[in-house]
Amino acid sequence: MAPAPPLLQLDHVSRRLAGRQVVADVTFRVARGEVLGLLGVNGAGKSTTLAMIAGVLAPDGGTVMLEGRDLHETPAPAGRRIGYLPENVPLWPELTVREYLDACGRLRGMARAARRRAIDRELLRLDLSGMVNRLSGQLSLGQKRRLGLAQALLHDPELLVLDEPGNGLDPVQTAQLRELIRTLSDSRATIISTHVLSEVEAMCDRVVILHEGRVRFDAPLASDSGALDRAFLAIASGKTGVAA
Amino acid sequence: MSMLSIARIDLERLFVRPFAWILAALTLAVLAWFFLLDLNAFLAAQPRLATQAGNLGYTDLVAAPHLLAFTQLSLLLAPLLTMHALAGERRTHTLPLLFAAGLSPARIVLGKFLAVLAYLGLLLALVALMPAWLAHATSPDWGQYAAALLGCALCIAALTAIGIAASAFASHPALAATAALLVALALTMLDAGARLGDIDTGWLDYLSLPAHLTPFMHGLVRSVDVIYFLLIIAVSLALASRRLAADKVRG
């Protein structure tokens, strides 16, 4: 019997932006239950790669496959299976927290009762219950980040794509986020982009290091955390090529 | 379904802001004032009108001009209401939220168009009720009034579509509003000089917005006028969709 395809597979994905090759020939796969850390310095191509996985940007070359289907050819069904938190939290500042989550649920085609249940669940899970009637534009940076995470989780996606989820969170919230992502990863695949090594070490099973738009390292997280530090620093400083 | 979801979300966002309520209140107040002035002038002129041939009545002198005034006001209202539609989403970084939900650019554009159209449609209904309330005291030409209403609705839809297209191309809402206003004014003023000079406008007639709206005001529904407005709507929305799709492709 043929093995089941990975939940997400990127094959030779490339993307130019403003005349610059931002992502070049990126190939990796993510299985269900796996937390993948996308590591790289600023400008390495992490956010562009995640935007292509989320269906926000179309790749110039290569394919993004969600369970064997080209994501950009079937965007609507894929949209219901992916939860995406971009680097800039997408908020409608004039809506309250509950109104905003309700709108996000509607966009994902959720029925009214399911929306209500999911909103209550995420408000509780992300410690936002006390601010349901506050305008989302008036929240602090950390609260906005949690609200962004709530919208990404609302429709219970199979693939969670988080771009720098730890930005703006205090140490307590960062610890809670790590715990949350660990809990969530049991039933879904998660991709987290970051340039903070400790976040990868705390949350991820596997790490892909991007540098100048290319995959320079793709391996499970070793028990020796010093090895990842050394590999990342060597790649970031341009002292090494492709590793695996 | 997702298109209607966007329309509902945008309407909700519109109505939670004081801007929409203030705009509606000001519009209705201004038009109510104009209506009273027109009605007063009509009542004063009635004895003279009764002796004249041509038989201009309440619909020609009060009801249809009242709707026309709202359409003229919409030259300003539509850009103000549509400027945030897509340019605003870009500024608040919420376009990725719509794309990530798997919505096509065409559905996003149509949803946003429907939201503003619903708001202006509601205003048009309230404005149209003003002259209709006096139906018991006068005898309006309902056919002519319905044609004028249809013309206004089509014209407002066209202005809304132009606003959505401008919002899709502009990086800032203020730029979008300015561009939409300029395009709408250009379409309105295109043959103004020729009309004032009583010169045959020829092909300019085909492009001029008033040339296609005026027949509706006289109770005349011509297919060429209906097609003109539908073409403006279709071209504007298609351009907006293409621009939004380019956001995905060009980044």
User: What digits encode the pLDDT tens for the residues A16-47?
Assistant: 988 889 999 999 999 998 999 999 988 889 99
Q: Look at the block and give the residue holding tokens 């038989």.
A: B55
Domain that holds residue B245: 3-250
Counting Cα atoms < 13 Å in the Cβ hemisphere of A226 gives 0
Answer for the pair B36, B62: CB distance below 8 angstroms, yes or no: no
Quick one: closest CA in A to B9, which residue?
Answer: A103
Cα–Cα distance for residue pair A13/A52, rounded to 1 Å: 9
Task: Give yes or no for residue A200 having a pLDDT over 90.
Answer: no
Give the residue from B73, B57, B63, B68 showing the smallest Cα distance to B38: B63
**What are the C-alpha distances in Å from A208 to residues A21, A205, B15?**
19, 10, 45
Answer for the pair A90, A147: CB distance below 8 angstroms, yes or no: no
Q: How do the pLDDT tens digits run along chain B, 251 residues long?
A: 588 999 999 999 999 999 999 999 999 999 999 999 999 998 888 878 777 766 778 888 899 999 999 999 999 999 999 999 999 999 989 999 999 998 999 999 999 999 999 999 999 999 999 988 888 888 888 999 999 999 999 999 999 999 999 999 998 999 999 999 999 999 998 877 666 666 666 777 788 899 999 999 999 999 999 999 999 999 999 999 999 999 887 76
Q: How many residues does chain A have?
A: 244
**Residues of chain A positioned with their CB less than 8 A from the CB of B90:** none
A142 Rama class: left (phi>0) / alpha (psi -120 to 50) / beta: alpha
Looking at residue B180, its pLDDT comes to 97
Tell me what ipTM this predicted complex has: 0.88
Alpha-carbon distance B242 to nearest alpha carbon in chain A (angstroms): 14
Q: Where are the beta strands (DSSP E) in A111-221?
A: 159-163, 189-194, 206-211, 214-220
Give the residue from B146, B153, B122 showing the smallest Cα distance to B59: B146
What A229-232 contacts at long range (C-beta under 8 Å, 24+ apart), as own/partner pairs, is A229/A197, A232/A39, A232/A197
Sign of the CA dihedral with A167 first, then A169, A175, and A178 last: negative
Q: Contact B100/A48, CB-based, under 8 Å?
A: no
Cβ-based neighbour number of residue A201 at 10 Å:
15
Q: Contact A80/B102, CB-based, under 8 Å?
A: yes
Q: How many residues does chain B have?
A: 251
Start-to-end CA distance of chain B, whole Å, equals: 26
Looking at residue A2, its pLDDT comes to 55
pLDDT band at A242 (very low <50, low <70, confident <90, very high): very low
Give the residue from A191, A180, A164 showing the smallest Cα distance to A88: A164
pLDDT digits (tens, 9 = 90+) for A87-104: 999 999 999 999 999 999
**What DSSP element (H or E) covers B51?**
helix B18-51
Quick one: closest CA in A to B95, which residue?
Answer: A90
Question: pTM, whole model, 2 decimals?
Answer: 0.90
Q: Contact A107/B9, CB-based, under 8 Å?
A: yes
Answer for the pair A131, A96: CB distance below 8 angstroms, yes or no: no
Answer for the pair A210, A44: CB distance below 8 angstroms, yes or no: yes
Answer for the pair A8, A189: CB distance below 8 angstroms, yes or no: yes
Rg (CA), chain A: 18
Q: Which residues pair with A9 in a beta bridge?
A: A29, A65
- Among A2-6, A97-101, A211-215, the range scoring the smallest mean pLDDT is A2-6
Cα–Cα distance for residue pair A129/B192, rounded to 1 Å: 59
Cβ-based neighbour number of residue A183 at 10 Å:
10
Looking at residue B251, its pLDDT comes to 66
Cα–Cα distance for residue pair A109/B2, rounded to 1 Å: 7
Answer for the pair B208, B187: CB distance below 8 angstroms, yes or no: yes
Looking at residue A239, its pLDDT comes to 62
What integer is the mean pLDDT of A52-76? 89
Quick one: closest CA in A to B111, which residue?
Answer: A107
What is the token pair recorded at B197? Answer: 């000079």
Selecting from B13, B104, B251 the residue whose C-beta is nearest the C-beta of A17 gives: B251
Q: Which residues of B touch A (CB under 8 A)?
A: 1-2, 5-6, 8-9, 12-13, 16-17, 92-104, 248-249, 251
Q: Contact A103/B12, CB-based, under 8 Å?
A: yes
Cβ-based neighbour number of residue A20 at 10 Å:
9
**What DSSP element (H or E) covers B118?**
helix B105-132
Selecting from B12, B13, B100 the residue whose C-beta is nearest the C-beta of A82 gives: B100
**Residues of chain B positioned with their CB less than 8 A from the CB of A55:** 99-100, 102
What is the token pair recorded at B83? Answer: 């400027």
What is the token pair recorded at A197? Answer: 């090594």
Looking at residue A43, its pLDDT comes to 86
Q: Total structural domains in chain B?
A: 1
**What are the C-alpha distances in Å from A32 to residues A158, A162, A205?**
8, 16, 12
